[in-house]
Amino acid sequence: MGDLQIRKQPKNYDAIIVGSGAGGGMAAYVLANAGLKVCLLEAGPMFDPKKDSNQLKNPWESPRRGAHTKFRPFGDFDGCYWGWEVEGEPYTQTGNKGTTNWEWWRARMLGGRTNHWGRISLRFGPKDFKRKSIDSLGDDWPIGYEDVKPYYDKIDQLLGVYGTNEGLYNDPDGFFLPPPKPRLHELFIKKAATGIGIPVIPSRMSILTKQINKDRGQCFYCSQCGRSCKVYADFSSSSCLVIPALKTGNIDLVTNAMAREVLTNKEGLATGVSYVSKDDMQEYQVTGRTVILAASACESARLLLNSKSSRYPNGLANGSGIVGKYLHDSTGADMGGIIPHLLDRKRYNEDGTGGMHVYTPWWLDNKKLDFPRGYHIEYGGGFGMPLYGFEWGIEKINGDGKIMGKAKEPGGYGASLKDDYRRLFGAHVGMAGRGEAVANINNYCEIDPSVVDKYGIPVLRFNTSHSDYEIKQAKHMKETFKEILHAMGAVVTWGGDDNEKNNYGIHAPGNIIHEAGTVRMGNDPKTSPLNKWSQAHEVKNLFCVDGGPFVSQADKNITWTILALSMRTSEYIVDEMKKRNI
């Protein structure tokens, strides 16, 4: 270590962006196209879906047949590097009574987790920004739907999303490409659910069913968006924002750069970022006029909390003590079964687009329910590519006369077992509720006082729990799923036995991978680190554009709103820099 020194990059940038996912990619895109000089730091390697996607690989091309590993928790062909654990980068839990461990997903690659995300692209509605005014819980955002709408409109058209205008007040219309037709099991779901008063409408996904520009291809219906798309027919930050923005020549992209601290000067302004290079393990510093954090809600909070100085003893932008607090994820509970009518189905290609073609937006009135906030329902099923785990546990299914038509001894072997697998292929159906948790100051991440990662950076320690609100919501999800499955004549095969003893099978916090709230925006510097432009109250040239600024996260997957808010903040930065305010 004798030669360890800090290498200072001579160039002074207009902006340093930490993280290249949805928020960072959008900021880089807007700033670089406005002619600003940007340094983009990414903690993982380069990734270009055109070259690096594992799209169209067959199961036998994986020695583990697509089974997951710690490197790819969503399976061997998945488009995300790392996930619940990253080698050399631990995190810890307080273990306080009543807490449930936070499960922290971290992507390390250009584009971050947008390379594999579900592409579910839902606008928040007018109510979603003003929940406290409706149910007295949590806080209102300092902005409303009307502030964000112009940016939703722009990203719909810039990035592409399919769906339909349904005129639903809190699920606003947008600029939609045509959706794909429902698959067979989706028609079963639609018929059953609408028959019992639960709406089912075309899903809203950032997948190009029509070509929108010359740089991106059109969807060819392989259903593998999770692997990232070689023709850029779905939205990833890598393919649709960073890689096009690099062509401006205004971005210096530094991969394998793990940010350590935000640097500040005597005046208390941000001056740059220090990072360790994973390539050579050397320490570097880059300087710039603004610093934009987009490292993920928790990583951005970690960076701020680790950026301590005599001026900022609680960490940067944290005079309020709120950085890291209000951490929340979507609620989640799932159930699935088999549709006996679909045994022995005629075979055909029903891959379709990645994920579901239809979904259920929140449809009920909380005044008549025992929990606040809502959830939407995502659907799955059909002829998926057979992968590791195919029909695992058939011994619990193939004896059931309600499923198979006539009862027989379960388990078994030989020709009749082999035939059972064929008969069951394509008959499964599953549903997942994804709902809004109430952001809570007692759910937080903080710096663990005694643990560092392999780079010597202090790590996060989590303290999270579900309240009754979330658990009751999960209970309601389960009841709804049972009703829908029953109405379609399906037999529940998993997720049906959850009860009050296991909080109705609600997923651990973090597990739905919608981390938000840790660097929230607000008008009062005493209760929020950021103002309504996602600009730090205390450090005017410091911004955060990932899930951190979210006051609450609706029952809508957060990516589309991260993109819209990042674009809004980035345009504000361009404007403020022009005016020489920062």
Partner 1 sequence: MDRRKSIKALIVGTVSTGVLVEACNPGEEKKTEAPKTTEATASPETNRMKEEEAHYKEVVAKTFFTPQEMTTITILGDIIIPKDEHSGSASDAKVPEFIEFIVKDIPSHQIPMRGGLRWLDVHCLSRYEKAFSDCTPQQQIEMVDAIAYPKKAKPEMAQGVAFFNLMRNLVATGFFTSQIGVKDLGYAGNVPNQWNGVPDDVLKQYGLAYTEKELKECVSFT
Q: Within positions 183 to 212, which residues make up the interface with partner 1, using CB under 8 A?
A: 183-184, 187-188, 191, 202, 209-211
Q: Please, are residues 537 and 531 in contact by the beta-carbon 8 Å criterion?
A: yes
Residue in 24, 66, 75, 354 binding partner 1, rule: CB under 8 A: 66
Fill in the per-residue mask, 124 to 163: x = in contact with partner 1 (CB under 8 A), - = not in contact: --------------------------------------x-
Complex with partner 1: residue 240 or 439, whichever CB lies closer: 240
191 or 311: whose CB is closer to partner 1? Answer: 191
Q: Which residue, 175 or 540, has its beta carbon nearer to partner 1?
A: 175
Among 126, 150, 393, 401, binds partner 1 (CB under 8 A): 393
Residue count, binding to partner 1 (CB under 8 A): 88
Residue 218 interacting with partner 1 (CB under 8 A):
yes
Q: Give the residue, chosen from 119, 230, 520, 556, that forms a contact with partner 1 under the rule CB under 8 A.
A: 230
Range in contact with partner 1 (rule: CB under 8 A) among 138-146, 257-265, 389-397, 466-474: 389-397
* Other beta carbons within 10 Å of 51: 8
Nearest in space to 138 (alpha carbons), one of 364, 474, 441, 562: 441
Binding of partner 1 by 526 (CB under 8 A)? no
- In the complex with partner 1, the residue whose CB is nearer, 210 or 526, is 210
Does residue 412 bind partner 1 (CB under 8 A)? yes
Query: How far is CA 228 from its chain centroid?
Result: 15
H/E stretch holding 468 reads: helix 468-487
DSSP E strand boundaries for 123-256: 201-202, 251-254
Longest alpha-carbon distance in the chain: 79
Task: Count Cβ atoms below 10 Å from residue 173 Cβ, excluding itself.
Answer: 14
Query: Rule CB under 8 A: is residue 406 a binding residue for partner 1?
Result: no
Site for partner 1 in 272-291 (CB under 8 A): none
**What's the token pair of residue 110?**
């250009």
Q: For partner 1, which residue of 311, 422, 526, 578 counts as binding (CB under 8 A)?
A: 422
Q: Which of residues 76-95 bind partner 1 (CB under 8 A)?
A: 76-77, 81, 87
Q: Which stretch binds partner 1 (CB under 8 A): 46-54, 359-367, 446-454, 538-546?
A: 46-54
Q: How many CB atoms lie under 10 A from the CB of residue 480?
A: 22
Contacts to partner 1 from residues 293-352, by CB under 8 A: 341, 345-352
- List, in sequence order, the alpha helices (H) in 138-296: 145-159, 184-195, 237, 243-246
Mapping DSSP to helix (H, G, I), strand (E, B) and coil, where does residue 82 land? coil
* H/E run at residue 403: helix 401-404
Residue 40 CB, nearest approach to partner 1 (Å) = 20
Least spacing, CB of residue 20 vs partner 1, in Å: 16
Q: d(Cα 106, Cα 300) in Å, to the nearest integer?
A: 12
Residue 231: which of 216, 221, 210 has the closest Cα? 216
Stretch that binds partner 1, among 220-228, 234-242, 365-373, 547-555 (CB under 8 A): 220-228
- Shortest distance in whole angstroms from residue 354 CB to partner 1: 12
Give the binding range for partner 1 (CB under 8 A) out of 47-55, 293-301, 436-444, 456-464.
47-55
Give the number of other CB atoms < 10 A from CB of residue 200: 22
Complete edge-to-edge strand list for the sheet that includes strand 444-452: 92-93, 458-463, 444-452
Does residue 245 bind partner 1 (CB under 8 A)?
Answer: no
Separation between Cα atoms, residue 281 and residue 324, nearest integer Å: 28
Least distance to partner 1, CB of residue 69, Å = 7
SS3 call for 375? strand
For the window 367-386, what string marks contact with partner 1 as x by the rule CB under 8 A? ----------------x-xx
Nearer to partner 1, 117 or 572 (CB): 117
Q: Measured from the CB atom, is 224 or 531 closer to partner 1? A: 224
Q: How far is the CB of 245 from partner 1 (least distance, A)?
A: 18
- The DSSP bridge partners found for residue 275 are 259, 284
Please state whether 352 falls in left (phi above 0), alpha (psi between -120 and 50) or beta: left
In the complex, the smallest distance separating the C-beta of residue 217 from partner 1, rounded to whole angstroms, is: 4
Neighbours of 265 (CB within 10 A): 12
Member of 6, 266, 267, 392 binding partner 1 (CB under 8 A)? 392
The one among 63, 167, 197, 249 contacting partner 1 by CB under 8 A: 63
Which C-beta is closer to partner 1: that of 211 or that of 442? 211
Per CB under 8 A, does 402 bind partner 1?
no
CA atoms within 13 A on the CB side of 303: 31
Cα–Cα distances (Å) from 131 to 127, 140, 372, 484, in that order, read: 6, 6, 10, 28
Residue 406, Cβ neighbours under 10 Å: how many?
A: 7
- Does residue 64 belong to the site contacting partner 1 (CB under 8 A)? yes
In angstroms, what is the minimal distance from the CB of 230 to partner 1?
Answer: 6
The closest of 50, 16, 466 to 252, measured between CA atoms, is 16
Options 390, 442, 453, 483; binder of partner 1; rule CB under 8 A: 390
C-beta contacts of 182-185 below 8 A and 24+ residues apart: 182/357, 182/358, 183/350, 183/352, 183/357, 183/381, 183/382, 184/342, 184/345, 184/350, 184/382, 185/339, 185/342, 185/379, 185/381, 185/382, 185/429
In the bound state with partner 1, the residue whose beta carbon lies nearer, of 10 and 414, is 414
For partner 1, the binding residue among 46, 67, 471, 492 (CB under 8 A) is 67
Whether the CB-CB separation of 19 and 545 falls below 8 Å is answered with no
C-alpha span between 88 and 104 (Å, rounded): 14
Q: How far is the CB of 166 from partner 1 (least distance, A)?
A: 10
